[in-house]
Amino acid sequence: MSSTAGSFEREPVGMDERILADGSSRWPVEAGRYRLIAARACPWAHRSVIVRRLLGLESAISLGIAGPLHDERSWRFHLDPGDRDPVLGIEYLGEAYHAADPDFDAGITVPALVDVASGKVATNGFQDLTLDFSTQWTAHHRDGAPDLYPEEHRAEIDEVIASFYDSVNNGVYRCGFASTQDAYAQAYGELFDRLDALSEHLAGRRYLVGDSITEADVRLWVTLVRFDAAYHGHFKCNRHKLTEMPVLWAYTRDLFQTPGFGDTTDVEQIKQHYYGVHDSINPSGIVPLGPDVSGFLTPHGRAELGGRPFGDGTPPGPVAGSERVPSLA
């Protein structure tokens, strides 16, 4: 929504209960109980898919994918047979929200963890969800799972995440949905000031914190990988393309080529969503044919900076056949 000053303000999530291992919440950690509903188009959902894969939670938490298109009734499962999620049997994600609260009138968002037996949304708290995957679901991590939120670096990770959340992750939306020139200009300036600072930070180090991938990298990367396909043109974030920012472009390619990142990314669905749903910005609904995404697979040279992508852990195995990105299958 937009404030009277014309700036975009993200609505708070409506069901942000935690799923905790110690039983202190009404939603306990339990393998097989929940289904993660995500959308390959959405950056907030994408990061949950990445973390789930890196930690090897596929057997503990099943995955449902909403398609890139939705309407006033919410995200829908138009990629599945019969246009319904094959496990929950619902056509629209909103059905799971209203099963939990018939009077629910906040935003119906992805990611959401749905209690399979009852069909009710347990949580859509995207800010805690991936942190809880790392800290609450440890009993179900795969052998060799990386530590994406190591205790000794948590304060720094939290600080780095906070430094780019509003200006970059949310900043691209603040540019795209601004309704006044001044609000747009402010968001635009903050976005590129922060991207410049991140470029400087990453010029001499491979990852944002420490010498391996952490939660901070996941959260920044999901915005960067969408930059040229959606945010540069559609959201008017057009001072430079990602491909014209050498450090961030190399950093993005490095992670794209790391298991868990590029193999969970569907640029076609990203474009279909942004250009096909935001009719106030793109009333024609025409989806661009570009950009050429083959550059994501070109050499990046970042390994020369050292670091170990998975720390003391190992890479995840191949993507399960049922979860492969259609354009990569």
Place of tokens 């202190």: 24
More confident residue, 105 or 239: 239
Which pLDDT score is estimated for 15? 79
User: Mean of the pLDDT values across residues 180-196?
Assistant: 98
Tokens 């939670």 correspond to 57
Provide the pLDDT confidence category of residue 221 given band limits of 50, 70 and 90: very high
CB count in 10 Å sphere of residue 115: 20
Average pLDDT, the chain: 94
Residue with tokens 């959260």: 219
Question: Do the bridges between strand 74-75 and strand 34-39 make them parallel or antiparallel, or are there none, so unpaired?
Answer: unpaired
What percentage of the chain reaches a pLDDT higher than 90?
A: 88
Range name among 6-20, 160-174, 254-268 with the lowest pLDDT average? 6-20
120-123/112-115 β-pairing: antiparallel
Note the pLDDT of residue 73.
Answer: 82
Which one-letter amino acid corresponds to residue 162?
A: A
Per-residue pLDDT, averaged over 141-161, amounts to 98
Q: State the CB neighbour count (10 A cutoff) for residue 196.
A: 15
Whether the Cβ atoms of residue 112 and residue 280 lie closer than 8 Å to each other: no
Is the confidence at residue 277, as pLDDT, over 80?
yes
Three-state secondary structure call for residue 122: strand
CA 166 – CA 182 distance, rounded (Å):
17
DSSP β-ladder status, 34-39 and 70-71: unpaired
How many angstroms separate the CA atoms of 22 and 27, rounded?
10
Residue 42 annotated as catalytic: yes
Task: Dig out the tokens for 237 from the structure.
Answer: 């974030």
Question: Is residue 207 annotated as part of the catalytic site, yes or no?
Answer: no
The mean pLDDT value for 83-97 works out to: 97
Three-state DSSP state, 68: coil
Give me the catalytic one of 97, 173, 251, 274: 173
- Let me know if 17 is exposed, middle or buried by CB neighbors in 10 A (0-12, 13-18, 19+): middle
Q: How confident is the model at residue 2 (pLDDT cuts 50, 70, 90)?
A: very low
Q: How far apart are CA 147 and CA 145, in angstroms?
A: 7
Task: State the DSSP H helix or E strand holding residue 20, giving kind and residue range, or none if neither.
Answer: strand 19-20
**Token code pair at residue 184:** 């747009």
State the pLDDT at residue 1: 41
pTM of the model: 0.95
